[in-house]
Amino acid sequence: MTIHREGMATIGLVGSVLLFTALLLPSRSPEWVFLPILGVLIAVMLIVLWFFRVPSRTVKQQDDLIISPADGKVVAIEEVTEGEYFKDRRIQVSVFMSPLNVHVNFFPIGGTTSYYKYHPGKYLVAWHPKSSTENERSTVVVRHPKHGEVLFRQIAGALARRICTYAVEGQPAAQGTEFGFIKFGSRVDLLLPLNADITCRLGDVVQGSITPLARFAS
């Protein structure tokens, strides 16, 4: 396990406060004041390190499968109208990430990135029905050479204040590799063809780059 580059500034800030407290407070405050403050700061540092962790995973690329783009829980499986790119009916599968989940996002299929757009917006709770269209979000579409295009959308939540997307239009996308990161609680939506065979169920706990969510129609 390593620490994600997006966390370095936050870790540096928390570490600086922790070091400052450890060096200065003992000489200026009694132990009953100093020790609880130090304990809280150490706990905050451990939480930050845990949040920005990058797990070591062996990715088995599977051409006919659509794998989870994120760690978390499946909170929606429904037919919707996708109005940004496809402008037709799609099956939406949504994975909610709590603050305790790994927040790296992974390409669910392989191919070529055919579309990317960032949308500023609100910070409704990530499970709110309108969060997919009103929250801060980034949309990425990857074209699979055999099965066509799949859209996936990073959505900020009530705590998230930064969406990082590394996908670039025209560049290759390798299934199971990192395409982005979202800071704090959030979700990722997948918009799949209507004939896709959904292999997950509501409430399933899934792992990004590992758990299949659907299978392309043969």
Active site residues: 186
Distance separating alpha carbons of residues 99 and 194, to the nearest angstrom = 31
| Bridge partners of residue 153, in order along the sequence | 139, 189
Check if the beta carbon of residue 121 is closer than 8 Å to that of residue 136. yes
How many C-beta neighbours within 10 Å does residue 212 have? 17
| Measured distance CA(83)–CA(109) in Å, rounded | 21
Q: Determine phi and psi for 33, rounding to 5 degrees.
A: -95, -45
Any alpha helices (H) in 118-170, and if so which ranges? 131-134
Residues in the chain: 218
Euclidean distance between CA atoms 61 and 132, whole angstroms: 28
Question: Which whole-number Å values give the CA distances from 131 to 103, 122, 158, 163, 214, in the listed order?
Answer: 18, 8, 10, 14, 23
Number of separate helices (H) and strands (E) present in the chain: 3, 16
Name the strand (E) or helix (H) holding 32.
Answer: helix 31-51
